[in-house]
Amino acid sequence: MLIIGELINGMYQNVAKAIKEQDKAIIQKLAKDQTEAGANMLDVNTGPASATPVETMKWLVETIQEAVDTPLAIDSTKADVIEIGLKTAKSRALINSTSADDEKLDRLLGLAKQYNAQIIGLTMDKKGVPRDRATRSELALKIVSKCMESGVNLEDLYIDPIVLPVNVAQNQGIEVLEAIREFQLLCDPPPKTVVGLSNVSQGTQQRPLINRIFMVMAIANGLSGAILDPLDKDLVDAAVTAELILNKHIYCDSFLTAYRK
């Protein structure tokens, strides 16, 4: 499974401080720690604080690349911030993300094509996040067909059904889980799927437990990637074990170590 480490995000205080003071060590430690813990990609988000997000994204990508070779997910709502990230990234990057709006799709699929990048498509549009699985599938299908039209390889597309916090939108858990299953009927080969996992437990008092259980359920439904905190060892162990049960890895007594090799 694709594990995208979420910790390099300007929304976190330590990262915001590092960006402000141009302190490379903090960013590089986060990059190394997440990679060693099992992340096979690192999310990079400048956060809301930066007044100059384009410069900040460039600095973050360069700083991370001095420390690790892990591929990057360039995370922004602004296309020009994504473009500088793609331009600066040494290895093949993932665009995080586009919505299902035409304007956004055209612009970001264009960038995906231009920079040979992978892309996450969120099943939301100007009307907001859908409340049911059917609308999620409808938007996913729109993203899939736009991908095909613009010549972006379907193998490079991740659909994100958008996870909502269980404490404010409790009925959405099942909708997201079922949507992940339904997405697999959209095309052949099916699109990959990804979730921003931590959102499910936002504001709750049992965050690690909720994250872990939801992720395992999603993996059982066919989830292929997640943006999460890889330093939560129990969480990564649960992902590896879930995939083991699904016969995606060959068992050995040290299967948890094997995954991190």
* Residue 128 or 261 with smaller CB distance to other proteins: 261
CB of 255 to other proteins, least distance (A): 8
3-state secondary structure of 256: helix
d(CA 24, CA 253): 38
Query: What is the C-alpha radius of gyration for the chain, rounded to an integer number of angstroms?
Result: 18
Verify binding: residue 251, other proteins, rule CB under 8 A: yes
* Residue 21 or 155 with smaller CB distance to other proteins: 155
Site for other proteins in 210-249 (CB under 8 A): 249
Q: Which of 13, 52, 91, 257 binds other proteins (CB under 8 A)?
A: 257
Beta-carbon contacts of residue 219 (< 8 Å; ≥ 6 apart): 1, 239, 242, 243, 246
* Residue 199 or 241 with smaller CB distance to other proteins: 241
Beta-carbon contacts of residue 100 (< 8 Å; ≥ 6 apart): 121, 122, 123, 124, 125, 139, 140, 142, 143
CB of 250 to other proteins, least distance (A): 5
CB of 150 to other proteins, least distance (A): 22
CB of 249 to other proteins, least distance (A): 7
What single letter denotes the amino acid at residue 171? N
**Residue 189 phi, psi dihedral angles, 5° rounding:** -65, 150
If binding means CB under 8 A, how many residues of this protein chain bind other proteins?
Answer: 9
* Residue 51 or 250 with smaller CB distance to other proteins: 250
- Rule CB under 8 A: which residues touch other proteins? 249-254, 257-258, 261
